[in-house]
A and B are shown apart, each in its own frame.
Chain A
Amino acid sequence: MYQFEYHRPKTVEEVTALLARCESPKILAGGMTLLATMKQRLAAPSDLIDLQDIPGISGISADAKNVTIGAMTRHADVASSKEVARAIPALAYLAGRIGDPLVRHRGTIGGSIANNDPAADYPAACLGLGASIVTNSREIPADDYFRGMFETALKDKEIILRIVFPIPQNAAYQKFPNPASRYAMVGAFVSRSAAGVRVAVTGAGPGVFRMTAMETALAKTFTPAALDGITAPIGEMLQDMHASGEYRASLIGVMAKRAVASLTG
């Protein structure tokens, strides 16, 4: 790891000022991804700006319509939140299956979606629930936020403050974890609400995406069988040492059907 300067500001304004002043700064949340990248010397920020002391950007609140989760909220706190379990149990379930307990004690939702790993879990929940990503300058709908592999709509020096999840009628997440890393080989998040059915898929392609053909089919008949024969283009799937494109494409159907089945009993 190269040298850097470390800062622990107490307000979002101080973060903004540091981001403007430092040469090539990076925000540090849980460090579960960033520190690993710095050890490999794939990132060499001049300054790390640690968000841990900023009040108001961690924690969970819920009202009749939305569950709001602060960017610095750790995966373990989402997994064990009674409010999340009551309003969107699929979201608590998803958080409890990220990595391992030790990673969940440090890793944050803001860090996960800022990073936008193509196999990460939270992007599927954001897109599958139609969440909004609130930053220090604007509110970005999930549909516009995720832009493919490690790419997001975030501008340089923009800070995620919180994520607002509309509460659906019901929702389910199913993932086939990579047995070594626990990241999703394929994960499918399905939700039903007054706005319609959403199916978001992570792990399969170069970034999270919606399966609109599945959404249309499920809007007509909400059963696993409604998904028979609906596939994603194999050429657009990720292929690597863990799984071929064919295998990932096939897992999309399996995971989406399992998610639907868990909602139809």
Chain B
Amino acid sequence: MTVVAMQVNGKQVSADVEPRTLLVHYIRENLRLTGTHVGCDTSQCGACVVHVDGLAVKSCTVLAVQAAGSKVRTIEGLADGDSLHPVQAAFKEHHGLQCGFCTPGMIMTAVDMLRRIPKPDEATIRQELEGNFCRCTGYHNIVKAIKAASEVL
């Protein structure tokens, strides 16, 4: 076991874990932040996306020890108190979800996308969502929500 410390959503945290512990399990099981989901566990679906030092990554394919000393942001760290992040608000407004399983990962990917590409067109949004699967919505309203968020951000 090793003590793995990092900053998560602005708070310093640490936990005693095995080196083989995945970042997603550290977040869900040690920190009890269960907004980050595990869909495939094989780096395909993007349900587990979080930001590590500002970059969106699949946390099922990162070891917690690799992120030791880093700044991590999860879906729980996005809203400012009671007011939703503009991307969260846009997903709500435009019905960018049905069952909601993919949503935390979609939103974390979208926030990262809009940081790099502030005004993406529809084709770019779809291309940037290559690593996030949604089995419910058919993506249409997700794309709409991201487009709408890009206009207010």
Contacts and interface: CB of A to CB of B under 8 A. Distances in A.
Interface of A: 1-6, 8, 28, 31-32, 35-36, 38-39, 48, 50, 52, 76, 80, 99-103, 105-106, 182
A1 B55 contact: no
Given A5-B19, A31-B62, A105 B55 contact: yes
A103 B43 contact: yes
B113 interface: yes
A48 B19 contact: yes
B42 A39 contact: yes
Given A48-B19, A100-B131, A6 B65 contact: yes
A121 B124 CA distance: 21
Contact of A32 (B46, B61, B109, B116): B61
Nearest to B129: A100
A100 B130 contact: yes
Given A3-B20, A4-B20, A105 B66 contact: no
Q: In terms of DSSP, what is the predominant structure of the interface of chain A?
A: mixed
Contact of B63 (A3, A31, A102): A31
A106 B112 contact: no
Of listed B19, B41, B43, residue having the most chain A CB within 10 A: B43
A235 B55 CA distance: 43
Contacts, number: 68
Category for how many chain B residues contact A: 20 to 34
B61 A36 contact: yes
Given A31-B66, A101-B109, A105-B55, A2 B20 contact: yes
B65 A106 contact: no
Nearest to A76: B55
Interface in B65-100: 65-66
Contact of A101 (B41, B62, B113): B113
23 contacts: A1-B20, A2-B20, A4-B19, A4-B20, A8-B65, A31-B63, A35-B63, A39-B41, A39-B42, A52-B66, A76-B55, A99-B130, A100-B132, A101-B56, A101-B109, A101-B112, A101-B128, A101-B131, A102-B43, A102-B56, A102-B57, A102-B131, A106-B58
B110 to A, nearest CB: 11
Contact of B61 (A2, A4, A35, A50): A35
A102 B66 contact: no
Contacts of B132: 100
Given A101-B128, A102-B43, 15 more contacts: A1-B20, A3-B19, A32-B43, A32-B61, A35-B62, A38-B20, A50-B65, A76-B55, A100-B46, A100-B130, A100-B131, A101-B56, A101-B130, A102-B46, A105-B56
